[in-house]
Every structure is written in C-alpha cells, then in structure tokens.
Amino acid sequence: MFKKVLVANRGEIALRIFRTCHEMGIKTVAVHSDVDADALHTRLADEAVCIGPGPAPESYLNVPAIIAAAEITGADAVHPGYGFLSENAEFAEITAACGLTFIGPTPENMGQWGDKIMARQLAKRLGLPLNEGSEVLNDAEHAAFEADKIGFPVMLKASAGGGGRGMKIIRNAEQMKDAFPQAQQEAIIGFKNGDLYCERYIEQPRHIEFQVLCDGKGGVWVLGERECSIQRRHQKLVEEAPSVVVSDELRAKMETVIASAMRESSYVSAGTLEFLMDERGNLSFMEMNTRIQVEHPVTELVAGIDLIAEQIRIAAGEPVTLPKEPFKPKGWAIECRVNAEDPETFAPWPGLIQEYHPAGGTGVRVDSGVYAGFRVPPHYDSLLAKVIGYGRTRAEAVGRIRRAIDETILTGIRTNVSLHQRILAHEDFANGNLSTRFLENL
C-alpha cells in the first residue's frame, strides 16, 4: 500500500480523497495555487506545496510543478480527482515515467474512451446501445449534409468535449452555418481540439449513467445507475441513485453488456458510462468519463462502499473488497450541487464567505471545501459543496434533501441554494418526472 499520496486537485474533491487516505493510514500532500493558500484542502493535508499563481494553467494544470511537488515530498502516488488533469493521458504517462503511481485508469483507457468519436466507435464494436451519429465533420456544409441524413434536430458536439462546451442544438441546415464555427471555436478554446460531430437530438431525454469499477484482473463491478437529468447549460445540478425509470430487469441487462464491454476494453479503475434515455425508455451511449465523478457520493451511499478507497486499492495492486453478487441498491440518495453563482443567470459569484453552516442530522452528508472567512477565487469551477440526502425510500430521501438544503446557510456571496429549494419543491421532481429540460419548465 502507498505511504503518501499527492492529490493533484483542490476543493471538496481533494479533501474527499484526503479523508479516505487518512482512514487508510496514508499520508497526504496537497498542491495549491497562491490564492488557495488558506483553502481547506491545504489546511487538512499532512503537507502542502504551492505550485503557482491563481490561473489554472499556471498551477493546477502545471504538470512539471505537480511532479516536482510529488518528488520533494516523497509521494509515491498521485490521485487526480476530477476535472483539471484527471483525464489527461499525457499526465498519467509522465506520472508513471517519474516513478509515481497514477491512481486511475491507464493512459490507453483514457485514449480510447476520451475522444467521443473514438468512444462511439468502440461502444458500437462492444455492443453498447448507440444513438445515430456522424464521424468527424469537415465544415458546416458537411455537418448539414450529415445532419440531414440523421434527421433534424441534431446535437453538435465537440469530440474532446465535456461540461456542455461546444454543444449546440441544430434544428435546420440554416442554423448550422452560424452554429458550426461557434461550436468549433468553443472546442478549440476549451480543449485545444476543434473536431466536431453530431448525433440525433432527443427532445426530452433523461440522463442515466452507470458507475463501474474494474480491478484490471478480470474483476468488473457495475454499481448501478445514477439519474442526472436536472442540469443547467448541460452541467448537472441534482443527481440521484437509483433512477425511478430503471427497472431491475433493465439494470441487470445493462450491467451484463457494460461488464462485457469493460472486460473487452481492458478498463482499469473507476469510470462512468453515460447514456441518454428517450421517451420510449431506450438507452443510447453518449460518452465515458475515465475518472471519479462529482456525483459519486450517491452511489457510495446506496452501495455502502468507498469508491476512492477501492480506486487506491486497485492502483496499489490489492484486491477489491466488493462482493461478487449482482448489485442491488440499498435505499435512495439525492445530491444537490451548491455553487457560487447567481441562481437566475448562473453567472459565477466569487467573493468572501461571511457565514457557513452546513446541514447535518440523520441521513445527511455534506462534501465541502469551504468555510466562513474563505474567499472563493474567480479562477475555478463554482462548486462549493455537495449536499446529499439518504433514505430507505425515495420519499424519505426527498424529505431529507429538502430539509438539508433548507438548513444550508451560506452568506457573503450569491449561491444557487434558492434554486435547489424551487427544484425540490416542484411536483414533477417529487413524482420523478425528470428530463434534461426540467429547468425550462421550472
């Protein structure tokens, strides 16, 4: 087992990983930018190293500085968390070349699943259900031609994309003329890769994803599904496990096909396969995230496991401690992402947190990386905390997450707590009538 783990990240996910490491008797190293010198993750790690100024390219994306921090502190492994360098195959390769263990998938895994067009091709070969779509598009004219074959409307997507960047809904060929160069420019800025493709657009889809854990020795665990349909600008706001629309039969069917795909593609560590469900209940593969997800706590609660601990054990070559029998969720969990942003416009809202009181009580978990007196910097994602309610039934979980959000006090900056209160009070949410367009009707 590792003696010391460096976490190449910040905020709540860095703190989340440190907690598991400390429970396992592993020393921890935080890296931080100068504006994060007083961040909670730097204060609760065993050691902390400043790796540059505030902007992410000069700090949390600065690979030489991160590797140097690992070397001077004597770390023997690196956990990337999510975001930043977590799906960067080159970073994983450099980590290994420097004698460090990368706690996550292999560079080969990232390469084959990280590019969305390659992932679609791989998914088709491995038998995963797939939506109609195109290959790489040359220009707007080519895109309009391919979209016409598929049938409008289509979704234009960045091949290397994520987080909603480079995504456009296109309803006719005329719209494609302006949308294609805009999406391409967004993709170049966001991912340094302007490749685009399109796929059939589902008007009222549900976003369903499946958590996997693979030990690289033939052991594959498909740990059920999460519903992530409530989103703003293609970014998730509320997630739950399990989903009200996934039957035991559908779950078992998907577990079989996903497990087979993971074994055949030699996948290692934690990962998430994301699907869209159309109005008829058909699932189609969208993408795979080769990292731990923001919303992993809801799976942990209904599965009774620590996904980070299993990731660490796999990377260290130790046996996974999960049972072999098919997964069956135990209870229900719902997560709300509390962001530093205007609840109406979603504009980021950095600044000084004056007061912070996280929720507590039976069945409530809060993963957070902030405190009263912390200044939220403008350079990074706006996520402040994840508030999770757990219960034996969905109704009980809904009651707990509503109470937990009502108890959440965070002043000095604007947050989306009031938006979560509106979502949780909505009749459609209570009844499980969800889609990715939920907020349009709120």
Indicate which residues carry an active-site annotation: 291
CB 351 within 8 A of CB 412: yes
Q: How far apart are CA 69 and CA 185, in angstroms?
A: 34
418, 424, 426, 427 alpha-carbon torsion, rounded to 10°: -170
CA angle at 262 for the pair 76 and 294, rounded to the nearest 5°: 60
**In which element (H, E) is residue 285 found?**
strand 283-289
Helical H segments across 139-238, by residue range: 140-150, 173-191
DSSP-derived secondary structure letter, 74: T
Give rounded-to-5 percent helix, strand, coil for the chain.
Answer: 35, 25, 35
Nearest CA to 7 out of 39, 56, 47 is that of 47
Using DSSP bridges, classify how beta strands 77-79 and 101-102 pair: parallel, antiparallel or unpaired: parallel
Question: How many angstroms separate the Cα of 4 from the Cα of each of 15, 25, 401?
Answer: 15, 9, 35
Q: Tokens standing for 434?
A: 């969800």
CB 355 within 8 A of CB 411: yes
CB 80 within 8 A of CB 291: yes
Q: Tokens standing for 188?
A: 């170049």
